[in-house]
């Protein structure tokens, strides 16, 4: 099986797992993956992650030209912004999970770091997550906003919309996305309970020990 065929199968497998566990619903969310020749595989526009056919997955070149498969998601500028500003990016996942979207709408969410330090794992897998303002779906300005971060964040949360996570591999991007949603859920569940999170010293220890980019 070719590298491209393996990548198509991997996207389809992860997409179904994401859909089956309710991390995105209907025909929402999108995944992209960079191939060794710098072309991208992207989930198609209007497709459901629960019912993808590997052959349907869009393949585009660096200029966004469709090379094979169905027409790609309209969120291409959002994905390419991560590939262009973070050289190590191998995959990007954008979903609409309930708790993350809810956190993006709460007035006391820190726009520079939306996830409170409740566990070490969100810090290890995500670093700081930036809250970006609301954009209309498909607006290229979303990509411009990501580019404005100059590659400093591997994950962002779009207000009233959902998170976007970049990773070195597809596995890493999906696992980081799952961690983001679980931490958002914890944050909401413990919001009025005076939960004891990590101290600043403990956060610094995690950052040092696991070499986290925490700027």
- Which amino acids are annotated catalytic? 75, 121
Tokens standing for residue 85: 């500003």
- Whether the CB-CB separation of 127 and 214 falls below 8 Å is answered with yes
- Whether the CB-CB separation of 161 and 96 falls below 8 Å is answered with yes
3 state DSSP class of 92: strand
Nearest to 166 by CA among 157, 175, 158, 155: 155
- Whether the CB-CB separation of 23 and 181 falls below 8 Å is answered with yes
In the Cβ-directed half-sphere of 171, how many Cα atoms lie within 13 Å? 0
- Whether the CB-CB separation of 162 and 96 falls below 8 Å is answered with yes
Report DSSP state, residue 168. S
Helix 170-189 / helix 3-20 crossing angle, nearest 10 deg: 20
CA distance 32 to 107: 31
CA distance 204 to 215: 11
Positive or negative torsion for Cα 22, 48, 52, 38: negative
């Amino acid at each position: 099986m070719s590298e491209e065929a393996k990548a198509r199968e991997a996207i389809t497998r992860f997409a179904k797992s994401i859909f089956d566990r309710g991390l995105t619903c209907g025909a929402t969310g999108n995944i992209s993956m960079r191939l060794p020749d710098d072309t991208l595989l992207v989930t198609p526009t209007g497709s459901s992650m629960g019912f993808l056919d590997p052959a349907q997955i869009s393949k585009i070149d660096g200029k966004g030209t469709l090379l094979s498969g169905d027409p790609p998601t309209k969120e291409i500028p959002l994905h390419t912004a991560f590939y262009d500003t973070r050289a190590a990016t191998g995959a990007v996942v954008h979903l609409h999970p309930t708790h993350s979207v809810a956190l993006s709408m709460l007035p006391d969410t820190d726009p520079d770091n939306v996830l409170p330090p409740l566990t070490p794992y969100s810090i290890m897998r995500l670093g700081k997550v930036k809250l970006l303002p609301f954009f209309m779906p498909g607006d290229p300005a979303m990509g411009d906003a990501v580019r404005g971060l100059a590659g400093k964040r591997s994950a962002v949360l779009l207000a009233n919309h959902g998170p976007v996570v970049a990773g070195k591999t597809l596995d890493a991007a999906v696992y980081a996305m799952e961690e983001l949603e679980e931490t958002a859920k914890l944050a909401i569940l413990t919001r009025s309970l005076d939960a004891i999170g990590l101290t600043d010293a403990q956060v610094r220890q995690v950052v040092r020990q696991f070499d986290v980019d925490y700027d």
